[in-house]
Amino acid sequence: MTKACNPDDHSQSLHISKKHQWLLILNRSGIALGGILLVGMIGGAWRVWKFIHKDLVPLAQSNLTTTLNRPVELGKVKQLSLTGAKFGASAIPATPTDPDKVTVEFVEVSFDPLQLLFNRRLKLDVTLVNPDVYIKQDEQGRWITTTVTPPRQKGIIKTNLDNLQFRNAKLMLVPQGRKVGGVGEVGEVGKKNLYHEFRQMV
């Protein structure tokens, strides 16, 4: 005696077979898509790491040199977070026309990432840690002759120096006509002029 084939069993097995094929296709395409996303994330992370460790310092150094109209030597990136960076030993060396100079143990830079994301504006708060500052008064009686150039807003991100602070600073002021290492005081008028010139520069 032969068994009769039930049409319901046959359609049910076809339905299960098609469902199994779809699950297999979705599973394989999900694995492929996940692999592509993983490779993209690794590539993006590598590019960010390369930018931070190879391109960030020269870019920041170039921008600061242009802004201050003086050479700036910015140290390597020591620490990085979503809200700032810490650079190693840095300096603004003396030039043939300006003997003023600054050496710094660390430079801490902080910013608001939300402003960067939504407004494409990077407002920088810069803190110079343990700076050693040498300022010599020029022949016209000015203490600070550096002129700050407003940033040229060519790129997609607009960068502004919002705040500049000094932490644990050493300052040597050399009045006109005095030798380095000479003892002298800057009177109240000199202090006011220095403060006024510094505020104008920044």
Q: Is the pLDDT of residue 12 over 50?
A: yes
Pairing state of beta strands 101-104 and 90-92?
Answer: antiparallel
Tell me what percent of the residues of the chain surpass a pLDDT of 90: 10
Whole-angstrom Cα distance, residue 189 to residue 173? 14
8 Å CB contact between 110 and 79? no
Query: In terms of C-beta density within 10 A (0-12 exposed, 13-18 middle, 19 or more buried), how is residue 46 classed?
Result: exposed
**185 vs 63, more confident:** 63
Which single residue is written with the structure tokens 């022949």?
Answer: 139
Looking at residue 189, its pLDDT comes to: 47
Average pLDDT of the chain to the nearest whole number:
76
Residue-wise pLDDT for 158-202, tens only, equals: 777 778 888 998 888 888 775 554 444 444 544 555 554 555 544
> What residues have CB less than 8 Å from 95, skipping those under 6 apart?
70, 71
Q: Please give the model's pTM, rounded to 2 decimal places.
A: 0.62
DSSP code, position 180? T
| Cα dihedral sign, 38-40-43-47 | negative
Distance of CA 155 to the CA centre of its chain: 15
**53 vs 7, more confident:** 53
pLDDT bracket for residue 15 (50, 70, 90): low
Q: Is the pLDDT of residue 20 over 80?
A: no
